[in-house]
Amino acid sequence: MPTIKMDSKILPILYRFCGQALRYPDSGWPMADLQTRFQEILTIVKADEEGQELSRFFAAEKEESILETLQIEYTRLFINSYGGVVAPLYASVYIDGILWGAFSETIRERYLRSGYSPDDTNEPPDHLATQLEFLALLHESGRPTEAEQFLAQSFRPWFSRFYQRFSAGNPHIFYRVLVELIDYLTLEEEP
Amino acid sequence: MAFKLTRRTFLQSAALAAMSAPLAKIAYAESTLAPAALEAKGTFADETVCGGICEMCFWRCQIIGKKRGDRLVKLEGNPKSIDNGAAICARGNAGIQMLYDPDRLKYPLKNTGERGKPVWKRISWDEAFAEIGEKLGAAIKKYGAHGLCMFPHGASAKYPMQFFDNIVGTPNISEASFFQCRGVRDTAYMSSTSIPPNESVDMANAKVIFLLGSHLGENIHVSHIKNYIQGLQNGAKLIVVDPRYSAAAAKSDVWLAIKPGTDTAFLLAMINYLIEKKKYQADFVENHTAGLDELTVGVREWTLARAAAECDLPAEKIQLVADMLAENAPNVSLHPGRHVSWYGNDFQRQRALACLTALLGAYYVRGGWCPGKAPKVEEIGWAKSEHDEKFDLNIKEDGKRKYPFSPPGTPTDLIRDTAISGNPYPIKACVIWGQNPIQTIPDQEKTKNMLKQMDFVLCVDIQPTDITMWADILLPQASYLERYDLIKTGVQWNLADKHQQYIAARMPLSPPLFERKDQVFITNAIAKALGHGDKIPAESLEQLVDKSLAAAGLSLSQLKKEDGIHIQDGKDPFVIPEDFEVLLFNEEIADAGFPGVPTYIPVPQPPPGFARLVYGRVQVHTFNRTQNNAWLHQEMPVNPLWINDETAAKLGLKDGDTVGFVNQDGVKSPTTTIVKATPGIRKDVVYMAHGYGSKNPLLTVGVGAGVDDTQLISKASVDPESGTHGMRNNFVQLIKDGKTLDIPA
Ligand code: SF4
């Protein structure tokens, strides 16, 4: 079976990193660090065009307006938008057509079976960032096979639909790079 | 894929390894998963939560929720309920879909674009309140409290409405439930019987049920429908007066396909007939009415023949109905209606209905109009205060009221016209709470023009309805399944059963998701931002409800122990209060310059080539409030156009054809719907369900589905006594394949 390199220590860190980048960009959000890391990652994967587009964006505007642009874009892409929200970050929207559907519960059960529980009951358990954190936890606790199963059985089936909807929504370069990175890190790789 | 490296190579690269410390600095900043006890698969037990009160419509059935883990999976009627019992309607069931609708509002939003074409940005509650405090505060400072107007609706808007009314002190508040719905019914009955009638007819025990333009069976309010069906099961005769063969007409013994707008003439003819033939309940009239002489004179001209001509009905049928009512009086249910703001002559029609009910002696009797004796709880809220009458738009220069029989608040058009003209004063801030004025108030352009000239617009809602596109700040409210609220009191649904009373308070069946907040939290924070923090009557909604319950010797914790509903012994409702009196002639109305006995005022008729547009309800929707509910949408995705089958044939239309509309003012529907050709509607009328065709793309299910009838209601008739809107004096032509079709007479 095609696998990702299980002994990598960096993988869970990347999952978590992406999860943090998926948080709403408020004033406490580590924008400068995120920018630097993304540029470095894009250099490593030789995504030169994206790298240039991203640096143009960050260079062109003041920090405050960069943050506001990202806030408006985040709201449009993931929360509510005139014209229709592009792609909510919750798995069950793609499987059940509803927030907190049966699939959210399946995901939550999956966390519990591995010994984790979401600590915020106001937020559905199947948020993309929470699932990335779960994958990280499985790796960090030496359970790469479980992580692999979760990816195949639970994550990819909805994420691929999310990815399609997201990509069709003309996303901003920052979120394009982020979601592409998540796709890259969770896609089954050919042997 | 823009990434030109295999993942394996990427993960093993030295460059990435070198980044691990700086990456980790960000990666571990926040976490959402915590270690928990291991649980085997399938260990979630289903749990039942009590104390819900449905608000998919205003009827407020008592419900319970079934939960699996943290997820609410099913709603049911509370088996302890003596009102709706274990039953709820389709919309009640679909509350789950409302709760988990991905399109619902989740966080406070700020509009960084323009009103009507918003560009939303999520903001924190603190930022939202700071901005509201600044902008509302500035408008109030500059223009006075009356420079602010409010359009509230529903249980959740009561507390904020009291705040803006009593504490901020604006008189400019207009509720759709009054001015575009039932207000004219209430004020007409108040002027006749001194009591708003609600829908308190004891249909279950009636010998005859009389429905004037009612949608019973198309509007499902569970205990009301149980009451109605019980009456039919018990053998009550059903009379339905409606230009359309409605769900009720389909069950009727007598259906009168009346010409729209002429209902008052029909009622007056029956009144005249009963008086002439002395077929009224003489004892009741003697003891509990005043003004029979004036009424007798006032209705004399309305012979059966004259009404027959005016209403386009056979005279014998009018007589038949009058006789059926007289023969079965006083045990007859004349339904007062609910949404009755139809033609702008509605006050007089509702008065006629109240007076006819009196002639039949059908008050406080079995089968008649009879309110159950419900228990009392205390109303806790913001301290009351008086307004400066100088800013009351309903008061003329001579000190008299323009619309003397207006429901509470200010008639909608007085607010809109003043805001647009700035005369007699500017209205520059607007708060919209749970109402969707775009789809409830006729003449959408006027509403938009009013909003365009505002300095600040605040909307609070559970979902992105059409009006929310016009907000500067949009706040997400917790829905009825996510909050405490409202105390519902009442009696057993069938008045013939053992007399019982109940008290139920709304309790959340699910915690509020995302950052949604209830109305007390939001209003209190606005109060603090405007410098009124010292006047806050309760710190939380839970506390507010608990304080109200205390007056009845109850508490939320006690209610929880009683499975959400407290039941106690009741009282016999069939006892007429000694001082109950129906004013067949009302001097106050006459003094104000209006007819003191019920009077028929003819309404405009369709111009050639047009048909009157009449709208109504369907079982699976509560107007635009549920249009985005995927489950309900599935049941009825569009609102078919009812058109007479012969007319349809002449126009070359058949069932299922797609049509659009243009109205008498040239307003075109941007969307289309399908044709339902039927013999069950008059030729001068077309009909569709209200609450479709939303314009807000945020409502991904409801947007553009069916036709928005309100858009076609560009001409609002104003009822002269009450200032409420009549919305059925608009006329349409059909558009098929780009061609406008004249509707034959
Ligand atoms: S009638 Fe239906 S929608 Fe209305 S409160 Fe009852 S269950 Fe809810």
Task: Please answer yes or no on whether B34 and A116 come within 8 Å at the CB atom.
Answer: yes
Domains recognised in chain B with CATH numbers: 14-103+481-518+536-569 (2.20.25.90), 199-370+575-591 (3.40.228.10), 611-741 (2.40.40.20)
Confidence of residue A4 (pLDDT cuts 50, 70, 90): very low
> What residues of B are in contact with residue A136 (Cβ under 8 Å)?
27
Q: Cα separations (Å) of B20 from A55, A181, B211, B278, B564?
A: 21, 16, 76, 98, 55
Q: Could you tell me the two tokens for B105?
A: 């509002």
Residue B388 confidence class, pLDDT cut points 50, 70, 90 = confident
B548-572: pLDDT as tens digits: 999 899 999 999 999 999 999 999 9
Q: How confident is the model at residue A7 (pLDDT cuts 50, 70, 90)?
A: very low
Q: Is the CB of B620 under 6 A from ligand 1?
A: no
Q: What is the count of structural domains for chain A?
A: 1
Q: In this structure, is residue A3 part of a structural domain?
A: no
Closest Cα to atom 4, ligand 1: which residue? B57
pLDDT digits (tens, 9 = 90+) for B319-335: 999 999 999 999 999 99
Q: Which residue has tokens 């558009």? A: B735
**What pLDDT is recorded for position B698?**
76
- Residue B44 confidence class, pLDDT cut points 50, 70, 90: low
Q: Is the CB of B623 under 6 A from ligand 1?
A: no
Q: What DSSP string describes B578-626?
A: TT--EESS-HHHHHTTS-SS--------PPTB-EEEEEE--TT--GGGG
Asked, for residue A113, whether it belongs to a domain, the answer is yes
Cis geometry, peptide bond prior to residue B424 (ω within 30 degrees of 0): yes
Burial B322-360 (b: 16+ CB within 10 A, else e): bebbbebbbbbbbbbbbbbbbbbbbbbbbbbbbbbbbbb
pLDDT exceeds cutoff 70 at B429: yes
Instruction: Pick from A99, A119, A176 the residue to mutate for testing the B interface (most B CBs within 10 Å).
Output: A99
User: Is the pLDDT score of A32 beyond 60?
Assistant: yes
Q: Does the pLDDT of residue A64 top 90, yes or no? A: no
CA atoms within 13 A on the CB side of A148: 13
Say if A38 falls within a structural domain: yes
Average model confidence (pLDDT) across chain B: 94
Residue A62's CATH number: 1.10.3480.10
- Note whether A116 contacts B33, CB cutoff 8 Å: yes
- Determine the residue among B71, B119, B479, B515 to mutate to test chain A binding: the one whose Cβ has the most chain A Cβ atoms within 10 Å: B71
Tokens linked to B608: 């050639």
pLDDT confidence tier of residue B52, bands split at 50, 70 and 90: very high
Residues B243-265: b if buried by 16+ CB within 10 A, e if exposed: bbbbbbbebbebbbbbbbbbbbb
Model confidence at B273: pLDDT above 90: yes
DSSP codes joined into one string, B30-50 = ---EEE-----TT-PPEEEEE
Q: Which residue's C-alpha comes closest to atom 8 of ligand 1?
A: B92
Yes or no, beta carbons of A189 and B8 under 8 Å apart: yes
pLDDT, one tens digit per residue, over B638-680 is: 999 999 999 999 999 999 999 999 999 999 999 999 999 999 9
Q: Whose CA is nearest to atom 1 of ligand 1?
A: B221
Contact A45 B5 (CB under 8 A): yes
Per-residue confidence band for B45, with pLDDT thresholds at 50, 70 and 90? low
Instruction: Report the residue among B53, B58, B61, B509 best suited for mutation to probe ligand 1: largest number of ligand atoms under 8 A from its CB.
Output: B61
Q: Is B57 in the pocket of ligand 1 (CB under 6 A)?
A: yes
When scoring B4, B5, B11, B49 by the number of chain A Cβ atoms within 10 A, the one with the most, hence best to mutate, is B11
The pLDDT value recorded for residue B78 is: 97
CB B185 less than 6 A from any atom of ligand 1: no
Spatial neighbors of B22 by CB under 8 A, at least 6 apart, are A33, A36, A37
Q: Give the tens place of pLDDT for each residue, A74-112.
A: 999 999 888 788 999 999 999 999 999 999 999 999 999
Q: Which of B138-142, B437-441, B710-714 shows the lowest mean pLDDT across its residues?
A: B437-441
Indicate if ligand 1 lies below 6 Å from the C-beta of B135: no
Pick the closest to residue B330 from B352, B358, B295 (CA basis).
Answer: B358
Question: Does residue A5 surpass a pLDDT of 70?
Answer: no
Rounded to two decimals, the pTM is: 0.92
Q: Which chain A residues are Cβ-neighbours of B45 within 8 angstroms?
A: none
pLDDT confidence band for B43 (50 / 70 / 90):
low
Nearest chain B Cα distance for residue A20, angstroms: 6
- Min Cα distance A153 → chain B (Å) is 15
| ipTM exceeding cut-off 0.90 for this assembly | yes
Which pLDDT score, from 0 to 100, does residue A189 have? 66
Highest average pLDDT, of A28-42, A51-65, A111-125, B191-205, comes from B191-205
Q: Do A116 and B630 touch (CB under 8 A)?
A: no
A6 belongs to a structural domain: no
Within 10 Å of residue B553's Cβ, how many Cβ atoms? 11
C-alpha span between B137 and B457 (Å, rounded): 12
What is the domain range of residue A125?
11-186
For residue B54 and ligand 1, the question of a CB distance below 6 A is answered with yes
pLDDT in tens, B24-39: 999 998 899 999 877 6
d(C-alpha A180, C-alpha B1), whole Å: 8
- Which residue in B has a C-alpha nearest to residue A176's C-alpha? B2
In a domain, A19, yes or no: yes
What are the tens digits of pLDDT across the range B694-719? 887 878 888 889 999 989 999 889 99
Q: In the prediction, which pLDDT does B4 show?
A: 84
Amino acid at B101: D
Q: Which of B221, B225, B480, B619 to mutate to test the pocket of ligand 1 (most atoms within 8 A of CB)?
A: B221
* β strands within B69-207, DSSP E: 71-77, 109-111, 120-122, 148-152
Centre of ligand 1 from the C-alpha of residue B229, in Å: 16
Least confident of B188-197, B272-281, B617-626: B617-626
Q: How far apart are CA B633 and CA B627, in angstroms?
A: 6
Give the residue from chain B lying closest to A109, CA to CA.
B41
Of A156, A136, A142, A44, residue with least CA distance to A94: A156
Q: How far apart, in Å, are the Cα atoms of A37 and each of A13, A32, A42, A61, B647?
A: 12, 9, 9, 19, 70
State the nearest Cα–Cα gap between A63 and chain B, in angstroms: 17
**Between chains, do A46 and B28 touch, taking CB under 8 Å as contact?**
no
Max distance between CA atoms of chain A, in angstroms, equals 48
pLDDT of the residue at B408 = 87
User: In chain B, what residues touch A125 (CB-CB under 8 Å)?
Assistant: 70
Q: Report CA(B87)–ligand 1 centroid distance (Å).
A: 9
Distance A74 CA to ligand 1 centre (A): 36
Ligand 1 contact, B480 CB (< 6 A): no
pLDDT tens by residue, B55-79: 999 899 999 999 987 889 999 999 9
With tokens 């949408």, the residue in question is: B633
CB contact under 8 A, B17 and A10: yes
Angstrom distance (rounded) from CA B668 to CA B686 = 16
pLDDT tens readout for residues B569-624 = 999 999 999 999 999 999 999 999 999 999 999 999 999 999 999 999 888 888 77
Percent above pLDDT 70 for chain B: 99
Residue A6 banded pLDDT, cuts 50, 70, 90:
very low
8 Å CB contact between B742 and B733: yes
Contact A121 B511 (CB under 8 A): yes
Q: What is the mean pLDDT of residues B487-507?
A: 96
